[in-house]
Amino acid sequence: MKVVITRKLPGDAEQMIRNASHDVWIHEDDCVIPRDLLLSKVQDADALITLLTDKVDTDLLKNAPNLKIVANYAVGFDNIDVKACCEHDVICTNTPDVLTEATADLTWALMMSCARRIVEGHKMTEKGQYKGWSPSLLIGQDLWEATLGIFGAGRIGRAVAKRAKGFNMKILYTDAFPWEEGENELNARRVDFDDLLAESDFLSLHAPLLESTKKIMNYAAFKKMKKNSILINAARGGLVDEADLYRALVEGEILGAGLDVYDPEPPEKNNPLLSMDQVVLAPHTGSASVNSRNGMAHLAAQNVINVLQGIDPLTPIKV
């Protein structure tokens, strides 16, 4: 059977699939596969391994009559029309769990960098502008005993919250479901969204991108936050209205932001957030550790192998 992979993946994914006696075609260029090339290659494909940049919709599915599985190399799957896949009897999978800890680490890296103005200090020192110690030089915010707000207490949100215990932080969370373990072990408190905005010193986003969460961080939301609060987004760029974030930062409604994701992605060169000292930027590297990226590729490959052998996938997307 034929497996199409839209980008060269790390680890042993390709060899795993070949060892299972399947043919593999890989888009070797390290860029988004052109749409016309993707539509051409899936015409006789039995399986497709995609990235978040690859749109799987009705047009693609109609063009791929043999397709049995779409294995997304990501936890999120807003690039896939899961309902359309179900209608075409195509199984969809993602890669949860294997990237949880790495993404939580990156979230904390952004949080600490924003709080202690690490990037500003790096630029100052690099440019030779550091002239010596000063009592007022790059004074930042304390993480110790601050209040951490978690919007979306799924796997990654919970991992971020657990790390806060070492900083003796107060933990608040907003989620559709209670997190009993966090409430019992971390004294986490479930609050509504408005209270999360009002009480958090650091607000970390970990919700999926849905119609109900799209641009939920807008100017009205920023107005409800503390003036010295910091926003962290390592989830989905579409959760934040970037124009409103810029306005909120300029007007002093919030203090700073750490971003690993954008809307659109990559961000446009004229995006004013890119030149703000109080915004720390990362190029969507939340899962970019050796173990996580290899694990994601391995899981995607195993899902493909299972489905093509008539076995249930390990991590199906359920709707």
Residue 201 gets the label, from left (phi > 0), alpha (psi -120 to 50) or beta, of: alpha
Give dist(CA 233, CA 235) in Å, integer: 6
Q: What is the dihedral of CA 33, 36, 41, 43, to 10 degrees?
A: 140
**Which member of 120, 155, 189, 265 is catalytic?**
265
Active site residue 265: yes
Going by DSSP bridges, is the β-strand pair 170-174/189-190 parallel, antiparallel, or unpaired? Answer: parallel
Active site residue 236: yes
Q: What is the dihedral of CA 260, 265, 270, 275, to 10 degrees?
A: 10
Give dist(CA 121, CA 298) in Å, integer: 39
**Which member of 236, 242, 293, 298 is catalytic?**
236
Residue with tokens 């949860």: 96
Q: Which residues are catalytic?
A: 236, 265, 284
